Structure 1
């Protein structure tokens, strides 16, 4: 019943959907040069041969798929299509996709646009990331009997409770999947309880990702600018956490007079507002977008640029992972650990329910309770070089030990690849 109502609304609501998309475009949230892709109009021709299509909602999901994309792109006879729904993810894929792999925007979930997309691309296998479930698209994939695998499947406790009230609706969507791979055993259990036919947990694909890239020359230049200054990084921060980082700085600068705090906000467009907020607090802040320099006297450096987290994870020995003290859910702690940073995060790491406690247990991260606890943890690391080196070594060792998940996930996907290959050989 819910699906039928949803489908009718997406058919009849075409004009309103177009109006909504145009308003998003006016705010910079849609790509005007490729707007047709959101309406199911292809921006590229379909390549010859077999095609595997991978979908991730935004930056985090598509980045987690990159190890799979690279493996699949190297498989003879296969081409790779990656879709996402945000401008920032499209920009990131333009820089990171391997040669031969293609990116398109996912069409908005309206039946005519979905069918046009599938008619053009005709995928032989579909891999879907996390929980970006679109009813019309998944129903069309099911009706076409396309092999479909959920990778990185994630169902939070809140989402699980909500879906329990609409089990028929979520069950219909999950029935499209031949296999659902949960990020954690609990995710796999919840997917099965909601109606998934086959579920497994083979690990978190984010642990298979390559280290975030960095410009070596720029890293060397920044090292020369900060010289011997003690420094720490507040990474992927959300609203409120920048002011918190500034208060931490104001407290610690009494012990470390030359301290430099670097902030990389989760949404770079907030850079100017963040700098204004910090200046109002009496903190001397400078913006990376203003030229990349760190002027003398800078207390807090706001790196409001895209795609440079890898640079600052390498530069800073101590990293606080944002969205974990004031905002809730947490950002990915694996990425700084992979690059050998001492990792600190707050109590709200719900997006990483297995990874966060595993890192703490292995000594690869510290979990702090509040602002005062963050001050204590960062100060202790900066004051004790031996403890800092031990924390950095433990983080890197744990991350490298977890990176074998890609082989297991490829093992689960390979039978479907071989099935498509056999179908081609014996039509």
Structure 2
């Protein structure tokens, strides 16, 4: 029975505030760290912030502050300390020796959450790659941590045995994972090339974690002309609910269609190991014709979250792509007005409020090259008439003596393809 005992972890959170050097507000950053800690399955017992202009090489926050943290750990009976910034292996070793408890940093915490959330093979491979790359330079400093048993935050994912192997074996495993990821991506490449050949536009949902990207995707799936409820994606009010890229075909009421893609959410101080590991997945989505930058309008830190998303997009060289800012969850803040309404839209994926406005903005970006035309298709080419009627919303249809009269808004490709049937009005 003892082996099945659930491990309850209590955490003391530690942050370093460097004044004007800090890119993010320390209170917002620590609140987010608390949310991440809860998402990983631990209680937050205390939050300690060190005001210091520079990083202390041995313990990151200085020996005096470490003693304060040690007292907090003892007073709250905590069994883990989480730092808001990346620590070196030596710093982790030094801190654990003084604090006599487990010490992890923000990156290890995020990777731990990813290990919990990963469901598909590709997501699990990407998480393992990120974890191995994170731990590679910390093997010496993490020696004591890796030899622990009992599980808990910081020990999920690849596991102790894999992390105790030497650097050569780790590099071999990294190469093996990258190969498997490349193989898995081949299928996506084929699908993308097929969409490009058929000229089906792609829209990608990007934004901060828990902004509601998956909820928006599910709303579109439910209201697509060819809606398939079984194709819905997992959604929940929690950080990093989605790690995989999901692509779904959306057919609007006027038969215009596009592929809508969901992506992994961003977070401040997103580790480079994660960005690199998920780069193939993100680049697949960011090859889209249009980005929907989803923002949680109910979050007081929405401006910071928007800036983080822009930074990650710039790092992926996708910052200059056509983008609509979608302020979601306005049902929670009905009186709030954010951003330029010409450049953004306020919606609720939960209630459907203003989603129609979003659809019109999407159509304006994706289908501006469509042409309204009249065709007189001879009865000998019933295939062409059937294709036009099935593919587009027909404005007018009439069966005349010379053939089928079809008036519709069509793509430039089909306009040219069936140009011999164009009926020029007198």
Greater percentage in helix = 1
Same fold (TM over 0.5): no
TM-score (norm 1): 0.32
TM-score (norm 2): 0.32
Structure showing greater Rg: 2
